[in-house]
Amino acid sequence: MASFLRHYSSSIPSPSSPSSPLADIRVPSFFLPTSSQATWLYTTLAIVAALLVLEQSVYRYKKKHLPGATWTIPIIGKFADSMKPTMEGYMAQWNSGALSVVSVFNMRVTFIVMASSNQYSRKILNSPTHAEPCLVHSAKSILMPDNWVFLTGKIHVEYRRVLNTLFTRKALSIYISIQDAITRNHLNQWLKDAAKDSSPKSIMKTARALNMQTSLRVFCGNHIPEEGAAEISQKYWDITRALELVNFPLALPGTKVYKAIQARKAAFKWLEMAAAKSKIAVAEGAEPECMLEQWVKELQAPGYKGRKDFSDREMAMVIFSFLFASQDAMSSGLIYGFQHLADQPEILAKIREEQYRVRGNDIDKPLTLELLDEMPYLKAFVKESMRVKPPVTMVPYRTTKPFPITPDYTVPASSMVIPSFYNSLHDPQVYPDHDSLIPERWLDSNSSANTNPQNYLVFGSGPHKCVGLEYAQLNIALVLATASVLTNWEHQITPESDKVQIIATLFPKDGCLLKFTPRPKP
């Protein structure tokens, strides 16, 4: 046996033998790199490793002791989670601490500090010298970087001084007749459409169409022709899609941001024209019949003290920002209002009783501010509906310099800080049975809800608090009030029905399916 093995082994050709066939086999160079290639390979690997270590080190240095992932996913961080945000994910983040940390695309300025408590959320909202609104990454590209919503300091104060005059009781009394007439036309059209097809339909597009026409006529009157209003309405959806939480940031042809910029340009053409026509109308002695005319009139008032030289473009930018709010946040609030009333018929019955009593059973009587003043239950419902399902759960800010948010933690400059509204609006200490819709909590002046106004962050807080909050609540109340006496509606429950959108541009989408039918006159 041993001799056989010696014979067998001696017959195997050695790879180093000149006569061996294996000696002619060439080994690819990438298996046996040359000295130069090996040097480049090892250098590249060393650089990549060093960058990854640096990335993690920077993240840990910024994070310090705050709750958050100990290590972040290399390069992309939490990008995958941000593509499909869920309320459950955000609740887990909020529950980890009053302040917590997350990172998206680690080597960029996307280090994020999230505030879940009312204390820190309000501190962010009320610290204009340390943080400014940024909404989402593409917001400034779409809304324009010099739009008043992004301004701070004296110039922002000057804007708000005049914009506040556009939402006084006097101004709202001008708008309400427009709102009432358009609402009735749309509700009648909804009933006609339902008569042709009685199956439940998504209310999202119908609510947005109602709000768009109302907003354009309230803001611009008849200074925008029908073809202009139709173009803005048709293209505005591109703007909403581009203002999602995460989007491809560059405005390359075909991208959402590019389409949104084109839509903004189309809208600006009409809005600037409306501003110019409003100035002409007021100069010729016309009394204000829309917001733009009211703006021009206020600038001419003897008692007005402030900036008076607003260009057509600047006025167009302001109206454009109001369109954004009315199309996204206000539409969302209206949709949930319909859904809440359908799901809780006992509340709808109380609203109807109030409507018939205040209107004297005359459901054709146009609503006025004076009539709405006599509808406290309706107002309480609108306020409570937006508390339970806030149209906006958070508004991202960006730090302009190091922000000492607590005695032992400073948010780095150019970081994102995100105050949460949802937690303040669902604080069980302020709102007992906080997940339930209870309008009565607002009817008692001594209730914990009314004695803790700092928790009601539906419209934000501080210098950037929503300037049109009275108009928004008025419009939702008016639509629901008129719908309650003209129509009946049923809600078809879907898996999307109870979901809360993360920011204004994430709607309940097609989850709210309603079936409308006419309501007999009393």
Residue spans of the domains in the chain: they are: 2-31, 35-116, 141-388+463-518
Q: Residue 386, Cα to own-chain centre: how many angstroms?
A: 14
Q: How far apart are CA 347 and CA 381, in angstroms?
A: 8
C-beta separation of 94 from 113 below 8 A: no
Question: Would you place residue 428 in the very low, low, confident or very high pLDDT band (cuts 50, 70, 90)?
Answer: very high
The pLDDT, as a whole number, for residue 306 is 80
Which two three-digit tokens encode residue 435? 């997940």
CA dihedral 143, 146, 150, 154 (to 10 degrees): -150
The pLDDT, as a whole number, for residue 304 is 83
pLDDT surpasses 70 at 77 = no
Q: How far apart are CA 362 and CA 521, in angstroms?
A: 9
pLDDT digits (tens, 9 = 90+) for 326-379: 888 888 899 999 999 999 999 999 999 999 999 999 999 999 999 999 999 999
Residue closest to 278 by CA, chosen among 260, 298, 257, 262:
298
Q: Is 295 helix (H, G, I), strand (E, B) or coil?
A: helix
The pLDDT, as a whole number, for residue 474 is 96
Mean pLDDT of 20-36: 51
pLDDT surpasses 70 at 94 = yes
Which two three-digit tokens encode residue 42? 């090892």
> Residues 6 or more apart from 418 whose CB is under 8 A from it?
112, 113, 114, 115, 124, 394, 395, 396, 397
Question: Would you place residue 136 in the very low, low, confident or very high pLDDT band (cuts 50, 70, 90)?
Answer: confident
Above pLDDT 90, what percent of the chain? 59
C-beta separation of 294 from 223 below 8 A: no
Mean pLDDT of 137-141: 82
Q: How far apart are CA 503 and CA 505, in angstroms?
A: 6
Taking the CB of residue 296, how many other CB atoms lie within 10 A of it? Answer: 21
The pLDDT, as a whole number, for residue 1 is 41
CATH homologous superfamily of domain 141-388+463-518?
Answer: Cytochrome P450 (1.10.630.10)
E strands in 214-344 = none
Q: Which of 33-47, 127-141, 437-451 has the lowest mean pLDDT?
A: 33-47
Distances (CA, A) of 503 to 26, 120, 146, 284: 61, 19, 22, 43
Q: Is 351 helix (H, G, I), strand (E, B) or coil?
A: helix
Q: How far apart are CA 290 and CA 219, in angstroms?
A: 6
Mean pLDDT of 405-420: 94
C-beta separation of 232 from 216 below 8 A: yes
pTM for this one? 0.86
C-beta separation of 444 from 145 below 8 A: no
Instruction: Return the half-sphere exposure (C-beta side, CA atoms, 13 A cut-off) of residue 26.
Output: 3
Residue closest to 208 by CA, chosen among 189, 186, 178, 228:
186
C-beta separation of 351 from 358 below 8 A: no
Which two three-digit tokens encode residue 68? 């958050």
Question: Would you place residue 72 in the very low, low, confident or very high pLDDT band (cuts 50, 70, 90)?
Answer: low
∠ CA 221-226-230 to the nearest 5 degrees?
110
Which two three-digit tokens encode residue 514? 């309603």
Q: How far apart are CA 515 and CA 171, in angstroms?
A: 35
Taking the CB of residue 266, how many other CB atoms lie within 10 A of it? Answer: 17
Q: Is 405 helix (H, G, I), strand (E, B) or coil?
A: strand
The pLDDT, as a whole number, for residue 81 is 53
pLDDT surpasses 80 at 495 = no
Q: Which of 32-46, 155-169, 409-423, 476-490 has the lowest mean pLDDT?
A: 32-46
Cross-strand bridge partners of residue 103: 111
Q: Give the total residue count for the chain.
A: 522
Average confidence score pLDDT of the chain: 86
Q: Does the annotation place 134 within a ligand binding site?
A: no
Mean pLDDT of 66-80: 63
Place of tokens 């405005």: 251
∠ CA 453-457-461 to the nearest 5 degrees?
90
pLDDT surpasses 90 at 273 = yes
Q: By CB neighbour count within 10 A (0-12 exposed, 13-18 middle, 19+ buried), where does 425 fall?
A: buried
Which two three-digit tokens encode residue 265? 């340009």
Q: Residue 205, Cα to own-chain centre: how many angstroms?
A: 17
Q: How far apart are CA 418 and CA 180, in angstroms?
A: 37
Taking the chain, what is the end-to-end CA distance rounded to the nearest angstrom? 113
